[in-house]
Structure 1
């Protein structure tokens, strides 16, 4: 168990995170509500530049710590911000942006985005502001990584360095309702770098970098449009993410990796911590002889969890019913990966609501019609860019008769008798999930991949077209 007390070693002005338990007014907390509030401000202030607006938003949340001022300058004072924002919008945006975790494990300052993931607004907006400022001034956007991820990662690694590296990041959580989200509860004690903060940091780094590289002749779009194009996208049947060339939220892990990995993350985080020490006179950082090792170990976990591994939508997020009975633990690592298609639902799912609906339908069929304890699959791959948790890494599934205790069963939603899944969906299974499982110790490094039909003789699963495809994959054996 991670103690909240350790988190107070980090001065609150360095990050987006404080702890308190005072009740506040509850607002609908999704990205669309935030974008609508931003759009109303833009409509009420014709000619308002996106940089001026995002600085006003920073002012509402009080994010004028010394490092932010170092890179971005001081934001408008409260009076100026109120000149742009109405009292009602100021109150809503203050609560929407200001990031805290209560002593009851509720994370605030985060929003549910349409793809089913959760994002902290503060690091997102700091990245956008960094990119806009660099674009307007024609200078390199040197503050993007320190403000979106570097500071938070570094301080999280140090504040919990007495714990195993895997406990220095996260956790994720779940909303009380995905249709009307109001409360987001974390799954365990928080670190400074919750999943929502990291998601917001990755999105801020992506959008900030993109904005900073706009041609000199091209003016930035309105803030509401920048956010809407990134989060409110439409995928088309038969193409899915394969046809997407612009930056959208389901691709945040691969895009952020392509942007940030060449920067030498260890050096960047160490330089960020040195700047924190210099600006805030935090002697405890300078006196800590284990800083380098703490950062090295923490970054290894970060790269594995947020870049090597795919984003997995947890059961509580897609609306799973409880397991009936007591789950049976798997003995890890398992030796086999069994590939399936769902057949029914027969069409690929392209949105979080559709994929979640498919998951609930399959769980209902498996529990009610077949009398199983839960959905049979270990994991299910959507064509929306995400993997959905079934029975997960640690529990025995019911996917491949006679072989459930020696392998994972992973299915891609759709009927692939005559057509293939999208390339992106297949890559999620073939490369991302398999690598994540091996590196995490859940799947043997020399694992064997089989199609469902190879283990049982009464099915054509995973479909003729898909089975022909996986026969060329590494680890497949006849």
Structure 2
């Protein structure tokens, strides 16, 4: 949901660590660079169902990495363990990139193995490749090995259903009739493993503040270093979750795509561009919506549970899994799934200020007293056209901030958040600071503006859904907005046509809309702040 680190993101520059033994790669850490590497790999050793892409990538990087029993098991399951691959000679700059992004890790506030995508999101390459590799194999369900140090499942019952008591009760245990899974979905193994191991750390991490942590690049044109805004971030960063989701979505597409399947470089160019196979909804801008459609909570609970069982069987001495009972594993899986689906998939994708190039806040921001009771809806009017790309939305944000700061004399852009038509929300003042969006009532509610003029037309449905459903539901769950919040159009509080006639008429049909007389709010009779 964001935090108080947004001010750091406005002036963010990260010093590169001095390592005389490491030759800096000349390629920027962009998704386009990854696509360039894949294109060359495909040219020199075509990647097909018979050749797993992740080992090809690692061998070409001459990067062996730590032994991964889980990945080895998956290769065995795909009958690929006997394939011998020789390192492929790449140009020095491409080889340098593969070394940098072959492994994902978080060390303090520094995140490695990530690249910047054209839509402004940051993506971990390792889980992305794992999903692509699984999709190329075609078959998703892999049987678990039978030997186990944990209580074995009933091998005669292969029911995929898992029934547990309410995840809100931390003391709850699985239903007595629950059956341990006997298969894992290869597309979800990477996500399930990291979710399970992170939440195995104990109840204190079941609402880990670092889940889905965002960060800032040192520069956007030629990014080289990425630093997290949250010092308490877990490995389940936004970049990792983005990569795992993208891998699962593209892997799922590959399992269904007719042969010959498209080259991976072409597939990624479409997914991080206009959309796969001409479908503008199947692209990275909408990964959370598509991920929620692909991954149901019961199915993911089953996969996290199954992956923990698999790890327990592959590594009996695993320090986190040794001696864990089935009841403990399914409880962890249930809570991990709940947090991921509610706090990540169920929340809007919000670009932090550093992504759109915000200027620093002027003065000292005033903290809000949370939770708030109101959500005020605006349209920007100028810019009048919806923004549909990162470039146009970021330019609009900077233009509005300059107008608010230099012409209006305000400390910052006035809105709490701004909704683009590219699938992303853009952070303005954010969740924690009083804005300048609804004169007289700024301290009582969040101000959210749609980019565009909506006097005669409506925003795109994807943008409407975020402001109507996703944002408030997420804010209520996080304790930022009261469950009984009121939704109002800007015109109901001050003399203005905002948010436009067409949009305001639609607002009147939304949940939580309060039909008070314009400019005469009976419940806001207290002295305005």
Is 1:82 the counterpart of 2:87? The answer is: yes
2:367 to 323, 329, 333: 329
The 1:71–1:200 alpha-carbon spacing in structure 2 relative to 1, beyond 3 Å, is same
2:444 to 386, 396, 406: 406
Q: Is the 8 A contact 1:97 1:110 kept in 2?
A: no
Which residue of structure 2 aligns with residue 208 of structure 1? 251
The 1:162–1:437 alpha-carbon spacing in structure 2 relative to 1, beyond 3 Å, is closer
Which residue of structure 2 aligns with residue 49 of structure 1? 48
The 1:273–1:22 alpha-carbon spacing in structure 2 relative to 1, beyond 3 Å, is farther
Is 1:436 the counterpart of 2:478? The answer is: no
Which residue of structure 2 aligns with residue 115 of structure 1? 119
Comparing 290-299 with 105-114, greater Cα deviation is found at: 290-299
Q: Is the 8 A contact 1:109 1:120 kept in 2?
A: yes
Deviation at 1:245, TM superposition (A): 5.5
Deviation at 1:358, TM superposition (A): 0.8
Separation in structure 2 between the aligned mates of residue 161 and residue 259 of structure 1, nearest angstrom: 27
The 1:440–1:335 alpha-carbon spacing in structure 2 relative to 1, beyond 3 Å, is same
Which residue of structure 2 aligns with residue 170 of structure 1? 212
1:276 to 311, 325, 328: 311
1:287 to 319, 323, 330: 323
Which residue of structure 2 aligns with residue 338 of structure 1? 376
Instruction: Tell me the number of residue pairs that the alignment of Structure 1 and Structure 2 aligns.
Output: 446
Q: Give ranges in structure 2 of 5+ residues lacking alignment.
A: 1-16, 144-182, 516-529
Separation in structure 2 between the aligned mates of residue 168 and residue 351 of structure 1, nearest angstrom: 28
Separation in structure 2 between the aligned mates of residue 404 and residue 138 of structure 1, nearest angstrom: 54
Which residue of structure 2 aligns with residue 423 of structure 1? 461
**Bigger helix fraction:** 1
Is 1:129 the counterpart of 2:133? The answer is: yes
The 1:402–1:268 alpha-carbon spacing in structure 2 relative to 1, beyond 3 Å, is same
Deviation at 1:99, TM superposition (A): 1.8
Separation in structure 2 between the aligned mates of residue 83 and residue 410 of structure 1, nearest angstrom: 50
> Where do residues 201-280 of structure 1 align in structure 2 (5 Å cutoff)?
201-215=244-258, 218-233=259-274, 244=279, 246-261=281-296, 263-280=298-315
Q: Give ranges in structure 1 of 5+ residues lacking alignment.
A: 1-19, 236-242
SS of residue matched to 1:165: coil
The 1:410–1:81 alpha-carbon spacing in structure 2 relative to 1, beyond 3 Å, is farther
SS of residue matched to 2:87: helix
Is 1:94 the counterpart of 2:93? The answer is: no
Which residue of structure 2 aligns with residue 16 of structure 1? none
Which residue of structure 2 aligns with residue 192 of structure 1? 235
The 1:411–1:433 alpha-carbon spacing in structure 2 relative to 1, beyond 3 Å, is same
Q: Is the 8 A contact 2:212 2:344 kept in 1?
A: no
Separation in structure 1 between the aligned mates of residue 142 and residue 480 of structure 2, nearest angstrom: 48
Separation in structure 1 between the aligned mates of residue 234 and residue 140 of structure 2, nearest angstrom: 35
- Structure 2 length as normaliser, TM-score? 0.78
Deviation at 1:287, TM superposition (A): 2.7
Separation in structure 2 between the aligned mates of residue 397 and residue 437 of structure 1, nearest angstrom: 17
The 1:84–1:192 alpha-carbon spacing in structure 2 relative to 1, beyond 3 Å, is same
Deviation at 1:160, TM superposition (A): 5.7
Q: Is the 8 A contact 2:187 2:252 kept in 1?
A: yes
- Structure 1 length as normaliser, TM-score? 0.86
> Where do residues 315-464 of structure 1 align in structure 2 (5 Å cutoff)?
315-457=353-495, 459-464=496-501
Comparing 203-212 with 157-166, greater Cα deviation is found at: 157-166
Higher RCO (CA < 8 A, seq sep 6+): 2
Which residue of structure 1 aligns with residue 507 of structure 2? 470
Q: Is the 8 A contact 1:156 1:169 kept in 2?
A: no
Q: Deviations over 1:303-325 (max 9, x none)?
A: 22211111110112211122112
Separation in structure 1 between the aligned mates of residue 271 and residue 35 of structure 2, nearest angstrom: 11
Separation in structure 1 between the aligned mates of residue 208 and residue 403 of structure 2, nearest angstrom: 36
Deviation at 1:135, TM superposition (A): 5.7
Separation in structure 2 between the aligned mates of residue 162 and residue 288 of structure 1, nearest angstrom: 18
Q: Is the 8 A contact 2:75 2:81 kept in 1?
A: no
SS of residue matched to 1:474: coil
SS of residue matched to 2:245: helix
Deviation at 1:343, TM superposition (A): 0.6
The 1:415–1:142 alpha-carbon spacing in structure 2 relative to 1, beyond 3 Å, is same
> Where do residues 130-169 of structure 1 align in structure 2 (5 Å cutoff)?
130-134=134-138, 142-147=185-190, 149-159=191-201, 161-163=203-205, 165-167=207-209, 169=211
Q: Deviations over 1:6-58 (max 9, x none)?
A: xxxxxxxxxxxxxx99674244101011111221333345x553763614014
Q: Is the 8 A contact 1:56 1:76 kept in 2?
A: no
Q: Is the 8 A contact 2:52 2:133 kept in 1?
A: no
Separation in structure 2 between the aligned mates of residue 401 and residue 137 of structure 1, nearest angstrom: 56
Q: Is the 8 A contact 1:120 1:196 kept in 2?
A: yes
Compare CA radii of gyration and give the structure with the larger one.
2
The 1:81–1:245 alpha-carbon spacing in structure 2 relative to 1, beyond 3 Å, is same
Q: Deviations over 1:269-316 (max 9, x none)?
A: 122111111112215413346544444333322122211111110112
